[in-house]
Amino acid sequence: MTDAHDSQPLPQPDFGAPNVERADWASMPDLPLPPLLDPASQTALFLDFDGTLVEIAERPGAVVVPPDLPGLLVRLASALDGRFAIVSGRSLAALDSLLGPIGVAMAGSHGGEFRPAGSSEILAEADPLPAEAVSAFVDFAKGYPGLIVEPKPFSVAVHYRQVPQARDALLEASAKVAAQFGLGIKHGKQVAELSMPGSDKGTAVSRFMAMPPFASSTPIFLGDDVTDEDAFNVLGRFGGSGVLIGPMRDTAARWRLPDVTAVHEWLAATKFDNGEAQA
């Protein structure tokens, strides 16, 4: 992708206004819109899932996948000659159940599991979480009806979106369990997650970038949550840039799109092989 700092700005459509009050982040300098994706360049595209491709729901299983999204993702992967991957905190099994067998490269569980494009083999990038740690989270959640425990192959998450008053107690319990078992803690949007150390979205991107067809390309990563900062922070090693999705906050991203709708519009504005943007 052409560096926007070194050339004339590329055409940028109007993706609308943020869906939050500007006063929430008025003290921070805003980021520009990303230039349109150019498949003819050596760009690699990495996409978060929740909060980026789909709206965040009250429960992980309640997300709604737009019917045209899987097909668009397949077209993007093809247009980029395979330099395309979804990098999510969800397990690969959960992504498959939501998107179907689309065959694109994916990393799940915050980089704990990995699958190249066109493969059915899931490669483990982390050790499984101790069962005792999962049990400790389950036992804690029993004291707060409405907490949702989401076990994954290499981590366990507790969502407190429906029980915000449990946040402080959950964070305290997370710290104790993490210290007891030598685990890492990831804090996201109304979720706390315990995982084995050494895997995150940054390591997932780095792993992809060491493989064909990603090697020697310029990565772009779209993500909305603080866990996506791990990916944003490694992009500079490869000459790449991050795109923050949602309201402005402290971030290592270079560009910003205001919401999930804007992400879909940006992706659909890609010029495909026939020279036309996605309808």
Q: Which residues of 50-71 are buried (b: 16+ CB within 10 A; e: fewer)?
A: bbbbbebeeebeebeeeeebbe
Active-site residue flag, 48: yes
Residues 14/16/22/24 CA torsion (nearest 10 deg)? -110
- Which residues lie across from 257 on neighbouring strands? 245
Would you tell me how many other CB atoms lie within 10 Å of the CB of residue 21? Answer: 9
Residues 249/254/255/256 CA torsion (nearest 10 deg)? -20
Query: 6, 38, 48, 230: which is the annotated catalytic residue?
Result: 48
Catalytic residues: 48
